[in-house]
Amino acid sequence: MNLSELRPPKGAVKKRKRVGRGVGSGHGGTSCRGNKGQNARSGGGVKPGFEGGQMPLTRRLPKRGFCNIFKKDIIIVNLEQLNKFPQGSVVDAEVLLKNGIIKRIGDGVKILGNGVLDYPLSLRVHRVSRSAREKIEASGGTIEVI
């Protein structure tokens, strides 16, 4: 079997409903909209969230909390994840992104001290925790805070 030979099962694909193409089509006249009313009009219909005049759910629920628009998006990386790199290599945000350890750089990358670093690495990151700094320097590595 080839991908070019794949077909949907019989009856799975229906023809598109073409409305407003004459009375003989079965979908002419009012074009399946019924007679008069809000939904029959051009541009008609209710807005999203409208519940027929009942107080909408978004207005019934209490508003709580606070969203800080100045919040920093710091991406965290644990020490154990850095054991993937060869000994003595330079690790920065772009390298972490390229190797799939982080999905985005955000507002900076922070190294946390979870795990053990077996050999020295040179790190160029935005932030480093105290425990991570101690472990990296104990293994003979260097840290450059950007």
pLDDT at 84: 87
Instruction: Give residue-wise pLDDT tens across range 58-103.
Output: 999 999 999 999 999 999 999 988 888 888 888 888 898 998 888 9
pLDDT at 58: 92
Q: Give the CA distances from residue 122 to residues 82, 91, 115, in Å, rounded to whole numbers and listed in that order.
A: 11, 6, 17
Instruction: Give residue-wise pLDDT tens across range 135-145.
Output: 888 888 888 88
For the domain covering 74-145, report its CATH number.
3.100.10.10
Q: Quick one: tokens of 14?
A: 């229906």
**Cα(143)–Cα(58) distance, integer angstroms:** 49
pLDDT at 127: 92
pLDDT at 75: 92
pLDDT at 20: 92
Q: In what order do the strands lie in the sheet with 127-128?
A: 74-78, 108-112, 127-128
Instruction: Give residue-wise pLDDT tens across range 21-31.
Output: 999 999 999 99
Query: Is the pLDDT score of 118 beyond 90?
Result: no
Query: Is the pLDDT score of 119 beyond 90?
Result: no
CA torsion 11→15→16→17, rounded to 10°?
A: -100
Report yes or no: 110 and 125 within 8 Å, Cβ to Cβ: yes
Q: What is the mean pLDDT of the chain?
A: 91
pTM of the model: 0.57
- What's the pLDDT band for 106 if we cut at 50, 70, 90? confident
Instruction: Give residue-wise pLDDT tens across range 30-44.
Output: 999 999 999 999 999
Q: Where are the domains positioned within the chain? A: 17-64, 74-145
